[in-house]
Amino acid sequence: MNTFPHVRLRRLRQNEKIRGMVRETHLRVDQLIYPLFIAEGLTEPSEISSMPGIMQWPLDQIGGEVKRVADLGIPAVLLFGIPNEKDEVGSQAYSEHGVIQEAIRRIKVESPETLIITDVCLCEYTSHGHCGVIHNGTVQNDESLNLLAQMALSHVEAGADIVAPSDMMDGRVGAIRLLLDEHGFNQTPIMSYSVKYASGFYGPFREAAGSTPQFGDRRAYQMDPANVREALRELEQDLSEGADMVMVKPALSYLDVIRQVRDNCDLPVIAYNVSGEYSMVKAAAQNGWIDEQRVVMEILTGIRRAGADMIITYFAPEVAQWLRS
């Protein structure tokens, strides 16, 4: 009885009504986070050539752009800053009047309801382009922690709602939690880039954020793409240090990692659909090789099916519009 011809799986695929009723995975606009680049030196938006449709924004226009995105129903943005001046220790990253600190204040005026998440990492602010301070040619873990914590604190003091450390130093979640709590910000969540791989898919981002390392690469602190048991150790470390949400990044080549993280903790899991994943789809769509809307929805649904609660994606405004129509 339990086999064909009694069993016919096509019965539940006959029309959109029935397919809708049996659909297992849903993508909603309130699961989307939109990344934005703010460049201190700009007066007009400047398109990033490797990311069609994505801009570097001047401080004067960032509030308006966030308002536009918020009106589409997107609840949160993730901010990246491009400072005018870089130095060895990334001073502009934790300066009261740094580009991100100023951007936060402007967004809070023009779009007060939008959740502001800030990327906490030194690479856009250091002259050498690495995510921490350098001595003897290597990134120093413990010396970088204090600077990262100062950076997170300055974002929160300026009004950031959530901080997202992406540097991959050991102990940074704990260092940030401690400093935030000492300053009375015990209600500010930490969204940790817990499982972040050393990935070729960040290529377009580095053009967008001007954060290419001037020597070497990030393999001494970001994870080896071949490892998944190690991902669970990163997860464990961040849980013990007090992370409120955990992230897997990139998303597409790491769907199994998203699933493992989902199955091994009870925190919200975020996946970052990164710049290279965006650019590949855009390039193929511009050539007429794929149907952009269909492919984007399939990719994001796949990331949700793998276990992500939320997705950081450069497609967020387009998806918000598609979900409406």
Binding-site residue ranges for 5-aminolevulinate: 206, 218, 275, 314
Q: Are 222 and 168 in contact (CB under 8 A)?
A: yes
SS3 55: strand
CA 15 vs CA 173, 302, 325: distances in Å: 48, 22, 19
CB of 131: closest distance to ligand PBG in angstroms? 5
In the bound state with ligand PBG, the residue whose beta carbon lies nearer, of 95 and 273, is: 273
CB of 24: closest distance to ligand PBG in angstroms? 28
CB of 100: closest distance to ligand PBG in angstroms? 13
Q: At what angle do helices 255-264 and 229-241 cross, to 10 degrees?
A: 50
DSSP string, 12-70: GGSSHHHHHHH------GGGEEEEEEEETT-SS-EE-TTSTT-EEE-HHHHHHHHHHHH
CB of 158: closest distance to ligand PBG in angstroms? 19
Catalytic residue among 17, 67, 86, 196: 196
CA atoms within 13 A on the CB side of 149: 21
* C-alpha span between 116 and 75 (Å, rounded): 9
9 contact partners, CB below 8 Å, separation of at least 6: none
* C-alpha span between 89 and 59 (Å, rounded): 23
CB of 163: closest distance to ligand PBG in angstroms? 13
Which residue's Cβ lies closest to ligand PBG? 205
In the bound state with ligand PBG, the residue whose beta carbon lies nearer, of 5 and 143, is: 143
* DSSP summary character for residue 168: -
Q: Is 196 a catalytic residue?
A: yes
The partner residues of 79 in beta bridges, in order of sequence, read: 36, 118
User: Binding site for Mg(2+): what residues are annotated?
Assistant: 234
Catalytic residue among 17, 67, 86, 249: 249
Q: What residue type is assigned to position 227 of the chain?
A: N
Cα four-point dihedral sign 159, 162, 168, 169: positive
* Pairing outcome for strands 133-135 and 138-140: antiparallel
Instruction: Give the footprint of ligand PBG on this chain (CB under 6 A).
Output: 119, 121, 123, 131, 166, 202, 205-206, 211, 218, 274-275
In the bound state with ligand PBG, the residue whose beta carbon lies nearer, of 119 and 234, is: 119
User: Binding site: what residues are annotated?
Assistant: 121, 123, 131, 206, 218, 234, 275, 314
The partner residues of 78 in beta bridges, in order of sequence, read: 35, 117
In the bound state with ligand PBG, the residue whose beta carbon lies nearer, of 121 and 173, is: 121
Name the residue with tokens 């979900």: 323
In the bound state with ligand PBG, the residue whose beta carbon lies nearer, of 82 and 131, is: 131
Active site residues: 196, 249
